[in-house]
Each structure stands twice: as C-alpha cells, then as structure tokens.
Amino acid sequence: FTDRRQCETLLEEYLSCLLELSRSDWLDSLAHLTYPIRYMRYRDGVDVDFHPFDDMIHEILKTLVERGKALELNTSGYRQIGAPLPFPYILQMYRDLGGELITVGTDAHEPKHMDDGLTQAAALLEQLDFRYVTMYKDRQPQQMKLEELL
C-alpha cells in the first residue's frame, strides 16, 4: 500500500464486500473487519483511519445484529499492533446496537500463541458489558460465560 487515497478506495470496496457477506447465510461470525488496517497503517505506514467509514461499519454491525450473527474479537492484534481487532470503539458500536454474540480468535499459527491476548480480551469485553463469548456447534451459537474464557 502506497498512499492514503489508494487505501481509502480499497477500504470502501472491502467494507462493501463485508456488508454483502453480512447479509448472506454464509457466515455465523464475521471476522477480520479491520484486517486491512493492520497492513495499510501498521506494516506500510499509510496514515489511514477507519472513522471515515463508520457509517458503513454501523450498517455491517446492524445487519449482524438483525440476523443474529456474531462478531469476532481477534486477539492477534494485541500481539501484532498492541490493540484488539476490531478496535474497541467498533466493539462498543456493535454492543450499542444490541449485539451480544462475540467469538474470540487468536489467529495462532503456532502453539505458543494459542492463548495470546485472551486475558486482555476478556477484560475488554467485560468493560464493554459483554457477559458471554460465543462458540458454534453445528452452526448453532453456544454461549459460554466470559470468565470461562480464561
């Protein structure tokens, strides 16, 4: 990624695809909402922000809530950029819209990263008034108390 304009165009396309996906029956939990930022901003140093896309993000999250779909909190961000993915304000937006289904992933490509960020994730979710983490069995959500995550 080389410049802000290029990144903003790609982010708009990416979020449009996620909105379309959120309206489908092809997912139970939407992951990697902020994935491009990890590379645009943190790897390549392009000063790009998600806030200009808050309306699109709001629509995606609203669709997830209306369709009873989960949002993933990915803890790999703690390890890679020092922040959870998606960013806390997006998790709060989801919660404010009535979202309750949160899955947690670590993107552990190595066994040593299996539990990276789980303590921070649990604390953040509790702070945002989530009480459960969601897991799926046969595409059916199973709620687990937040404290059981650890």
Cα–Cα nearest to 106, from 93, 121, 91: 121
What confidence tier does 24 reach under pLDDT thresholds 50, 70, 90?
very high
| pTM higher than 0.95 | no
Q: What is the pLDDT of residues 37-84, one digit of tens each?
A: 889 988 899 989 889 999 999 999 999 999 999 999 999 888 888 889
C-alpha distances (whole Å) from 84 to each of 68, 121, 139 are 23, 7, 25
Phi, psi (degrees; rounded to nearest 5) at 30: -85, 120
Q: Does pLDDT of 10 surpass 90? A: yes
Cα–Cα nearest to 57, from 80, 28, 38, 30: 30
